[in-house]
């Protein structure tokens, strides 16, 4: 039976309904992860949970220790990662409250520790990252979203920007020309590190605001927080369906 781990992003710093059996403070060669790895039961299944930004939410996207987070989950026994991400909508279909299960990504970040294959190597290692997300895991999320009856897109290109600021109108226009459908700040190097550790990985993205220039309104944190509040129940029920199989 697959051991699933959930990485909670903004709005999901703790998994309500998780019956915690153990909280592990995992020591990694890359420093401390954002939070302890919680091990427990959710939807009747054993699951691991890690708050990407810490609990409380304190690590901005560019300062998350992605290497420690993924390493800690692997050490705790994870085999597959369900990553929850709050994103901005670029494509017209990606309105606030819409879900997307991306099939591709483009990395626009810089300066992040993005690989385990960096120091004291006996040989250079390259991973195949043509398709950054696990297709079987993507299909599990898609099936769960369909069963939930929520609005979702089964494909999309995730643009990962540096943050922590939101993007300019011109930057979003560039991302759109590049073929991106949604924009977030935490999709990389998380996905690549999971691949290096041979962990299945897929993203459940919740659109919490129109990207810059996609609405006449000013983007406010109040708007984003409301969208997170409204969408988290659907996120949790979708994850529960995946875990139940």
∠ CA 184-190-195, rounded to 5°: 135
Residue 201 domain boundaries: 4-114+130-244
Cα 202 from Cα 71, distance rounded (Å): 17
Whole-number Cα distances in Å, 153 to 57, 97, 180: 28, 12, 13
Cα 86 from Cα 182, distance rounded (Å): 10
Q: Is residue 69 part of a domain?
A: yes
Q: Is residue 233 part of a domain?
A: yes
How many other β-carbons are positioned within 10 Å of the β-carbon of residue 226?
Answer: 15
Contact between 83 and 203 under an 8 Å Cβ cutoff? The reply is: yes
Cα 228 from Cα 13, distance rounded (Å): 12
Q: Is residue 230 part of a domain?
A: yes
Cα 238 from Cα 198, distance rounded (Å): 24
Structure tokens that stand for 152 in this block:
């979702």
The count of structural domains within the chain is 1
Q: Is residue 9 part of a domain?
A: yes
Q: Is residue 123 part of a domain?
A: no
| Residue appearing with tokens 């017209």 | 92
Looking up residue 183, the CATH number of its domain turns out to be 3.40.50.1580
Q: Is residue 120 part of a domain?
A: no
Question: Closest Cα to residue 243, out of 87, 67, 19?
Answer: 19
179 contacts: CB under 8 Å, gap ≥ 6: 106, 157
Indicate the annotated binding residues. Answer: 10, 52-53, 185-186, 209-211
Indicate the annotated binding residues for phosphate. Answer: 10, 52-53, 186
Contact between 35 and 54 under an 8 Å Cβ cutoff? The reply is: yes
| Residue appearing with tokens 């690590």 | 59
Q: For each of the chain's 245 residues, which pLDDT tens digit applies?
A: 789 999 987 656 556 676 778 888 989 999 999 999 999 888 888 899 999 998 777 899 999 999 999 999 999 999 999 999 999 999 999 999 999 999 999 999 999 999 998 777 677 778 899 999 999 999 999 999 999 999 999 999 999 999 999 999 999 999 999 999 999 999 999 999 999 999 999 999 999 999 999 988 777 888 888 888 889 889 989 999 999 87
DSSP string, 104-130: EEEE---S----STTSS-SS------S
pLDDT computed for residue 15 by the predictor: 64
Record the pTM: 0.92
């Amino acid at each position: 039976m697959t051991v699933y781990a959930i990485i909670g992003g903004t709005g999901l710093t703790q998994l309500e309904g998780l019956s915690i059996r153990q909280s592990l403070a995992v020591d990694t060669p890359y420093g401390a992860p954002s939070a302890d790895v919680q091990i427990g039961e959710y939807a009747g299944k054993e699951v691991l949970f890690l708050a990407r930004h810490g609990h409380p939410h304190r690590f901005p996207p560019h300062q998350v220790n992605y290497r420690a987070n993924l390493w800690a989950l692997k050490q705790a026994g994870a085999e597959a990662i369900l990553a929850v991400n709050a994103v901005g909508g670029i494509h017209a279909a990606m309105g606030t409250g819409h879900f997307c299960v991306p099939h591709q990504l483009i990395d626009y970040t810089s300066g992040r520790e993005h690989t385990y294959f960096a120091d004291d190597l006996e040989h250079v290692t390259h991973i195949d990252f043509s398709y950054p997300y696990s297709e079987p895991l993507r299909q599990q999320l898609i099936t769960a979203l369909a069963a939930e009856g929520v609005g979702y897109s089964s494909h999309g290109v995730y643009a990962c920007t540096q943050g922590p600021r939101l993007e300019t109108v011109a930057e979003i226009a560039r991302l759109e020309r590049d073929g991106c459908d949604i924009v977030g700040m935490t999709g990389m190097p998380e996905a690549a590190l999971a691949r290096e550790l041979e962990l299945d990985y897929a993203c459940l993205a919740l659109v919490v605001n129109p990207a810059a220039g996609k609405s006449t309104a000013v983007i406010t944190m109040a708007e984003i927080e409301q969208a997170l509040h409204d969408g988290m129940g659907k996120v949790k029920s979708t994850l529960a369906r995946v875990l139940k199989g």
